Structure 1
Amino acid sequence: MGMLGTRSAFLMERFERLGDSKDMESATGIHEEIMRRTRTGDQVRTRALANLGTVLCRKFEQTGNLGDLQQAIKHTEEALDATYVDHPDRAITQSNLGAMYLRRFEQMGDLGDLQKAINHSEEALAAIPQDHPKRAGIHSNLGTWLSKRFERIGDFGDLQEAIKHTEEALAAAPHDYRERAILHYNLGSIFLSRFQQIGDLGDLKKSITHAKEQNNLGIRLFESFEQIGDLRDLQKAIKHCKEALGATPNNHPERADRHSNLGNMLFVRFGQIGDLGDLQKAIEHLEEALAATPKDHPKRATGYTLLGILLESRFKRLHSAEDLNKSLRLYHDAHEFRTSPPRERVKAARRAVVFNSTVYRSDAIIATTSAIASLELPKLKYEETGHWMRQLASFGQGGLLEWARENKVMKDLLVWLWDAAVGPVFDYLESRGILISGGAHDNDLKRIWWIGVGQLGMAPLHAAGDHSRGSTRNTLSRAISTYIPTIKALSYARQTQLQLFDKYGSSFSTEHSKKSRTPIKRNLLRYILSSAAKSSIEPTVLRTPTPAKVLKQVQHHGIVHFACHGVSEFNPSDNHLVLFSQDGNKTDRLLARDISKLVAQNAQIAYLSACSSAKNPSVELADEVIHLASAFQLAGFSHTFANMWETNDYAACEVARDFYDLLFQNRGNGGDDHQRVSTAFYKAVKKVRDRSPGCPLVWAPFMHTSA
């Protein structure tokens, strides 16, 4: 029997060196043969059970077959039960069993398995001699597992114990211990977790000190930069990651990750400093990372997405249509990789159009279910585009006579926008049967997602065209329009399923002082409350709230409605909603930048019945899409409704009333809630347009940003 055990040990050692799975299968067969030849209670059988458990666990790590892990646990438990309490092998068997429970916890997420792993390791540590060479490993395991329990439960005591055990593991490990670098990494990670909990910079420094012992120093410094914002940490992180990459062989399995990490850091530095060279190098590293990642590797989707983001950023700087085309394809590849079976690539139905105007040329990039195409727009001249957008940014500064002049200019602007940009796109889509030629009935219209780049970031693409009675040469007659800031944002947003009127579907409304509550707005509020009650929705109404109270409430409601004043500043991050005190003599500002920092888990619809809530008065910053509506998008709202300039109270209240009326009417009818919301808003706006087609200043400001 001894010879069989020795042969099994030799086979496993050779397997670890050469990786031949036949050696592992042979070792498994040997232990099973020993068990057949021995009786229960025989110490040789007990040792064979424990060894078989170890081999099966190693087999699970190679193949991922959960059945092997279950058998490993079963055999090791049986071996532990048959081992005397004071037997010298008991501590090691117990430690191995703890590791197996940890593996099962990682697979199935059962907290009971993690608890068993910790209990077995604690008992193993109590039983093993102080000078035993495996004591450091048990301390290390216990520290790691306590840290995992802290992540699940949040008990700070677990974090403290994790640090204690990992420090003891490091102290007990010989300087030539092959896992010493891992101990430094683990201890650094735990100190970083404690820093994130209590903010002690000493813990952050300890984390960096431990990271110096291994290749992840750059990552630690990058995490320090993210926490503190010290650019020197980012510079050092890039330096160390470059050195780590230089020392990594071309065929090393970690080379792709190191290219990716370095590319990400260079992209962050580009965002901080603006050096285009950093962006170019970041793209090169991401391309190398993708090339080194196996085609079926789960990280490949992330690689597609990251490279797409970088190429889209370079497109915004250099305006190369080739970069945008590549970016669109990468986002598409990432979506397919995540959502489709390997042999059945199902394309998400969408029509996205990106407009770009430069001094060299102007294009529309059109992404459909079947292709991505670039359409040159010779009539979309860069200087003329700038002229029209500056006109648009200046609207809303005068009285009645000025309003009449601006309304005429707006009609001319919308016709120019159709002729130069939007019309050719519809001609392209209709010629290929993607849209119905010449328009369709409201119920048959398809959605289009618009993305304006550069100066066109503020263009009213949804209202483009000739709106004289009977004309269909306009966007409203051809499609349901939606805005989205980037293709990536659309790809992400479409992954979220909208669930209207579930337990989160309550409505939230703000009002101000008597000074700003006009009879029209009071009637609208009463109508919304009445409609909500009929639909069994319990609304929360905040009258004269503070910004802090609004921010708190927004996080707990699925639908939020603001009836207030909006202010558009030259610095878009200072855009705000005005909140009046009860007596109307004092005001507070609900800033766009504060809204954007929210994480609203239940967010669905944000309706901003506020003037200029989607206005960016700076043509130079039009490309950044920074306004109140985008702030709510960043907070997590799937659909945001806002106004591109100052609006007429009657029209604003009519659009809001009809929108909610249509939304509540169609409740529970099944189908796509994203489409239901979009169609309801489209019909509400079109109703106002149809009544006053010659007054685009009245109906054109209403816009929709969504998935």
Structure 2
Amino acid sequence: MELFPALTACLAEVYATGNPALVLEPGVVEEARHLAGSRDADPGIDPVGARHVLGWFHWFRYQALPQGRCQEALDQARSYFLEYFVYEGTKQLPEELRVELAMKATLSAYEHQRRTLAAPDPLSVEVGVRLWTRIAEALAEYGDMQALCLMGLSTMLQVRCRLTGDLEDLDEAIRASREAVALCRESGDDKGPVAGALSTLSTALRDRFGLAGALGDLEGAVEFAKQTVRSAVRDPENMPGYLSNLGTVLTIRFERTGAPADLDEAIQVDRLAVETTSEGHPDRAARLSNLSFALQRRYTSTADPRDLDEAIASSRQAVAATDPHHRDWTTRLAVLGSGLRRRYERTAGARDGDEAIQIAERVAQATGERQPDSASRLHELGVSLVARYRNTRDLADVVRASEAFAAAVDAENAPASARIQSAGIAAGLIEPLDTSRAAALLEQAVRLLPEVTPRRLLRSDKQYALSDFTGLAGDAAALALSDTATSPEQRGRRALSLLESGRTVLLSQMLDNRGSLADLHPDLAARFTALRDRLDRDDASDLSSDSASGGLQKSEDRVALARELAAVLGEIRSRKGFESFGLPPSLPELLPEAARGPVVSFSVSSYRSDALLLTADGVQVLPLPGLEPESLNARVGAFHAALVATTDPEQDRGIAQAVLAETLEWLWDTVAEPVLNALGYGSAPENGADWPHIWWAPGGLLGLLPLHAAGRHTEDGVRHRRSVMDRVISSYTPTVRALRHAREREAAVPSVPSSLIVAMPTTPGLPGGGRLAHVPAEVETLRTLLPNPLVLDQPTRARVLDQLPRHTIAHFACHGANDPADPSRSRLILHDHQAAPLTVAALAPIDLNHARLAYLSACDTALSTAAGLLDEAIHLTSAFQLAGYAHVVGTLWAIDDEIAVEIAEDFYAGIHDEPTGGLDFGSAARALHHATRTQRDLYPRTPSLWAAHVHAGA
């Protein structure tokens, strides 16, 4: 050190010469004494560096002094080096002391951890993480000790994540805990330390589930909590804590899956944990609070007031036994507040309501704005205030509630799902007074949606995460259109941008990662494609069969793969010309898609309903006052009930067809005619004139009705019926972005045309063999109409997936099935459908460069009825679009196989190009339009026969 030149020069010479006796020189000894006395008092001295210097001074003295006089020097060296180790680790320390110092440092680490867990702050947590990291590194060859250190490290990383919301901390905590479990088991001790390691792993997985939402993490948390209890059978001291942890993860799993057995077991083990914990035990409060948490969840399911009363009593005991400075005090107080709020909602007891609000305010104030819990605690305050407003009608509570919800939206480190939920409620409260602010809140929520579905999650987890937010995009667009602070053109563009961002989130994420890699270095392109495809394959296996499950290991694999993919994406975007690769297109990039014809998107909301007409001139807003969510919901329900009735011999099929026709007339009056008139399509094209072409992007509930078939089809004596089919050609697209993707694929260099025909005249496992009597005739017709046809005999999923990349056309003549609970399990029913169904999810990894047309002559292939995922357009038609087919023909409901043959024959004849003798794929929409219109003219009073077929894509 510069302030002590003799000392530092001496140490340098000892290093160089290997002569420790040099430190015995009087001048050197005097400077060392001076440094020891002033190291903490003199601001000019680095105290950590001083410890390092003094440690080496005494270490060399120990080596230089004779036997019998060196022990004191050794003790001093150990003391200084230990202090230095705590701050800096094992670097530049005597090799002989590293393990010993690390062992001694564990005592400091445990004491520091004890103090930090009671009242954590960022600095103390950071010190704890670094200290355990150093100790674990130093003890790498000492399995038992390293396992304990890794458990300590995992615990501190978990605490740091609770302060910051950084998922990488939990990823590392889980890695450390896994290693600790493995080390404990390698030592042959499967009872003692391993229980602690398993418990630490369980809590880390539980916390990661809370932030990211991977069900595999939660399943792992439950399994490891159960293993903990089994491993601790001879550890009565810690068993109550392990039981309480098990109760917590079981309660959380009940919230995710709704299995009542989980909740009953949770309450049983929570009660046992409390009963086996003595009065006055420092952890009794935590176990009482966990019991209250479980009881409240059961109350929300069963409405048994006894559960709620017991929950509140348990919470009161927990809060009373907790020091207000303890790290979990706010958590336990929050549990009490939520219980009181629930009882207030049931009984309207003013005392409960007031106390719930007081507690919620206190908890929100005590929670740092950057903590992940801040949004949920502000949300609880808002909910409590709204509950009191419903009884008292005090508008002050509404104002305060809206402020609390809005603050929750701004909690940047909180989970995106919590922020989005608060945004929806805040907007509803604020909208009557400040539409601009309400619109801004919902726009913020829509922009957060991609954070709910990160690539690390499996497809099933992403779908679950999105299921709470159906309709959000429509509400956001509606408020944006009502925000008069901007011009009408700006409002229309903003609304369209919100619909593009807030719908088909999963599809859009996959489309964004399928941009052209043609000009990218082959090695980098190959790395990106391999990682992307691996993640997509995991998504497929997650849902492609009934026996598949995500699993914890798959979750762990995806975490690593997603991190690696993000790094590769960053590398790609650093290359010239690829700066925006994998990013969603901007609205200006999408506007040119209207060059071929208008794209019509819809916003249906309780605030207002509109059509957004994207044309070459920009975005026009068309209000649709008759399109109310309640009436639309009723119409959709009646329409689909009537569809079922049309094939039920015990119901009046004539009445059912009349309901369908009436719905198409309502759809014309309310939606289609206003749109067509606004676009200038007030009459049918003149004979010989080109037909105008419209792309519909209905979204939500409106997507369950056939906009292309809206009209009055049974009017007699009218040359040009008032119907969409008699004025324009219709196509569908989930979003403008999806349409852009289809057109990019359409523009790809074509290959030699060939056709794959997948036909199932009979299907094993279906009633009556699933016989489709007209499929053989359809196949024979296709053989003559399609280029280079290959007909698969007894097609299986594997054979179909193998053949798809080899053909430009894929035609399926088989049964199809929509899964109303999980649209990613909707499937085409092939020969091995029971063991390996060809589902929407199974098609997700497919990325074809030269595909042109997929014709899905099967039931329900463009249908998705899962209420929570209506905005996602998850069905077989969109799956084939994602796979690369520029044109897809699908169906909105069950079709008649005889009519299906006739429509298919007319369709392929319609795309036949006479001059070249080939097929004109660009005529696909026109060909389907005329084929369907032919059937409509034959059976105008039977819409179920001809209105199901739709064209999607370019």
TM-score interval, normalised by the smaller of the two chains: 0.5 to 0.7
Q: 1:417 aligns with which of 651, 667, 673?
A: 667
Closer/same/farther in 2, CA of residues 236 and 461 from structure 1, 3 Å limit? closer
Are residues 1:624 and 2:893 paired?
no
Using the alignment, how far apart are the partners of 2:664 and 2:446 within structure 1? 41
1:598 and 2:849 correspond: no
- Cα pair distance change 1:578/1:492, threshold 3 Å: closer
Superposed CA deviations along residues 371-411 of structure 1, whole A, max 9, x for unmatched, are 21111112223322111101123222542443322111111
Match of 1:320, SS?
A: helix
- Change in 2 beyond 3 A, CA 1:346/1:615: closer
Aligned to 1:202: none
What is the match of residue 4 of structure 2? none
Q: Which residue pairs with 1:579 in the alignment?
A: 830
1:593 alignment partner AA: A
- Structure 1: distance between partners of 2:701 and 2:771: 36
Q: Deviations over 1:102-123 (max 9, x none)?
A: xxxxxxxxxxxxxxxxxxxxxx
Query: Which residue of structure 1 aligns with residue 890 of structure 2?
Result: 642
Counterpart of 1:101?
Answer: none
Matches within 5 A, 1:145-544: 270=416, 275=421, 277=423, 314-320=472-478, 322=480, 325-328=493-496, 348-394=595-641, 395-397=643-645, 398-400=647-649, 401-430=651-680, 435=681, 437-441=683-687, 444-468=690-714, 469=716, 470-498=719-747, 502-503=751-752, 505-513=754-762, 515-516=769-770, 518-532=772-786, 537-544=787-794
Distance 1:678 1:587, change over 3 A: same
Equivalent position amino acid for 1:562 in 2? F
Contact 1:506 1:559 in 2 (8 A): yes
Q: Given that residues 555 and 603 in structure 1 are in contact (C-alpha distance below 8 angstroms), is that contact kept between their aligned partners in structure 2? A: yes
Please identify, of 563-572 and 439-448, the stretch whose mean Cα deviation from structure 2 is larger.
439-448
C-alpha distance after superposition, 1:23-51 (max 9, x if no partner): xxxxxxxxxxxxxxxxxxxxxxxxxxxxx
The alpha carbon displacement at 1:637 in A equals: 1.9
Contact persistence 2:774–2:898 (CA under 8 A): yes
Tell me the equivalent position of 1:30: none
Query: SS state of the match for residue 444, structure 1?
Result: coil
Tell me the residue number matched to 1:699: 946
1:625-704 superposed matches below 5 A: 625-666=873-914, 668=916, 675-704=922-951
Once the two structures are TM-superposed, the CA of residue 437 in structure 1 deviates from its matched residue by 3.7
Give the Cα separation in 2 of the matches to 1:273 and 1:231: 20
From the superposition, tell whether residues 353 and 606 of structure 1 become closer, same or farther in structure 2 (CA, over 3 Å): same
The CA deviation at 1:277 is: 4.9
Contact residue 753 and residue 788 of structure 2 kept, 8 A: no
AA in 2 matched with 1:325: R
Equivalent-residue separation in structure 2 for 1:411 and 1:377 (angstroms): 21
Structure 1 position 643, deviation (Å): 1.5
Secondary structure of 1:640's match? strand
Deviation at 1:427, TM superposition (A): 1.1
Q: Secondary structure at the match of 1:465?
A: coil
Q: Determine helix, strand or coil for the equivalent of 2:627.
A: coil
Return the offset for 1:639: 1.5
Report the residue type matching 1:576 in the other structure.
Answer: R
Equivalent-residue separation in structure 2 for 1:268 and 1:317 (angstroms) = 23
> Shift in Å at residue 519 of structure 1?
4.7
Q: Structure 2 vs 1, CA of residues 608 and 339 (structure 1 numbering), >3 Å: closer, same or farther?
A: closer
Give the C-alpha shift of residue 615 in structure 1.
2.4
CA distance in 1, matches of 2:818, 2:446: 38
Once the two structures are TM-superposed, the CA of residue 596 in structure 1 deviates from its matched residue by 3.0
Amino acid in structure 1 at the alignment position of 2:653: W
Q: Take 1:531 and 1:346, find their aligned partners in 2: how far apart are those partners?
A: 31
Change (3 A) 1:464 1:545: same
Number of residue pairs matched by the alignment: 441
CA distance in 2, matches of 1:704, 1:613: 11
- Structure 2: gaps of 5 or more residues: 1-90, 92-152, 176-203, 213-369, 372-408, 428-439, 449-468, 482-491, 502-583, 764-768
8 A Cα contact 1:528 1:657, kept in partner: yes
TM-score for both structures, normalised by structure 1: 0.53
C-alpha displacement of 1:570? 1.7
Give the whole-Å Cα distance in 2 for the aligned partners of 1:347 and 1:632.
23
Q: Which runs of 5+ in 1 are unaligned?
A: 1-170, 172-204, 244-262, 289-310
User: RMSD of the TM alignment (CA)?
Assistant: 4.8
SS in 1 for 2:911: helix
Matched residues in 1 for 2:877 and 2:447: separation?
34
8 Å contact kept, 2:604–2:628: yes
The alpha-carbon deviation at position 467 of structure 1 amounts to 1.1
Aligned mates of 1:484, 1:367 — CA distance in 2: 13
The structural deviation recorded for 1:687 is: 1.4
The corresponding residue for 1:607 is 855
Amino acid at match of 1:580: H
Report the Cα distance in structure 2 between the residues aligned to 1:223 and 1:621, rounded to whole angstroms.
Answer: 29
TM-fit CA distance, 1:319 = 4.8
The CA deviation at 1:483 is 1.0
The answer for the alignment partner of 1:65 in structure 2 is none
Alpha-carbon distance in structure 1 between the residues aligned to 2:726 and 2:938? 14
Distance 2:444 2:419 in 1: 19
| Residue 815 of structure 2 is aligned to residue 568 of structure 1 | no
Look up the equivalent residue of 2:480 and give its one-letter code: E
1:494 aligned counterpart, secondary structure: helix
Change in 2 beyond 3 A, CA 1:276/1:506: farther
CA distance in 1, matches of 2:417, 2:688: 43
1:555 alignment partner, SS class? helix
* Secondary structure in 1 matching 2:912: helix
Q: Secondary structure at the match of 2:895?
A: coil
